[in-house]
């Protein structure tokens, strides 16, 4: 299977707010397989669909516990206690941002077969889930920076890559639509 192209900042696909998946079909399974392959190939621990230009509410994650798939995920509960952890992102190469996030969360989502699950996550797993869910809302870790640091981070990223600056986002939304 050909790997999808990983989008890097400033590609506008990274700012897309996703749509819910409606059909749990072969297209979705193919998308999930391609995303997992891209995540592993790129050395990441998570990958959201927007990072490969697909505007649906899907992400994959593996923080060392095996592959997890999240479709139409929602955070149902979160702890008031937060911890700050430096986060990196495949779409923001070379950038690390300290982000304070709830230490534990409870998530409701569907797996790739359309089976609903609810699970509590803590530590790195909780941080990774929240990071990927931010992607599904068009939010990036640089958005947590103060304005001065944001300016320098985006300047650094833009100087590394001009991909997507002069193009409109061609988001593929075939998953979740009837053929």
Query: How do the residues of the chain divide into helix, strand and coil, expressed in percent and rounded to 5?
Result: 30, 25, 40
Annotated catalytic residue 38: no
Please give the CATH topology (third level) of the domain spanning 12-160: Peptide Deformylase (3.90.45)
Closest Cα to residue 30, out of 58, 65, 7?
A: 58
Active-site residue, from 86, 132, 156, 170: 132
Closest Cα to residue 18, out of 135, 145, 162, 151?
A: 135
pLDDT, one tens digit per residue, over 33-70 is: 999 999 999 999 999 999 999 999 999 999 999 999 99
pLDDT, one tens digit per residue, over 135-158 is: 999 999 999 999 999 999 999 998
């Amino acid at each position: 299977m050909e790997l999808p192209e990983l989008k890097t900042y400033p590609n506008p696909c990274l700012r897309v707010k996703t749509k819910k998946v409606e059909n749990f079909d072969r297209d979705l399974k193919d998308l999930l397989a391609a995303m997992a392959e891209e995540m592993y190939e790129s050395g990441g621990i998570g990958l959201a669909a927007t990072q490969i230009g697909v505007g649906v509410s899907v992400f994959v994650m593996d923080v060392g516990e095996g592959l997890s798939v999240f479709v139409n995920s929602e955070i149902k509960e979160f702890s008031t206690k937060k911890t700050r952890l430096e986060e990196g992102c495949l779409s923001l190469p070379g950038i690390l941002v300290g982000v304070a996030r709830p230490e534990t969360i409870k998530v409701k989502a569907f797996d790739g077969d359309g089976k609903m699950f609810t699970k509590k996550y803590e530590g790195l797993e909780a941080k990774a889930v929240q990071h990927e869910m931010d992607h599904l809302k068009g939010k990036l870790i640089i958005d947590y920076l103060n304005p001065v640091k944001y300016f320098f981070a985006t300047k650094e990223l833009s100087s590394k890559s001009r991909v997507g600056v002069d193009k409109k986002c061609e988001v593929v939304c075939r998953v979740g639509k009837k053929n």
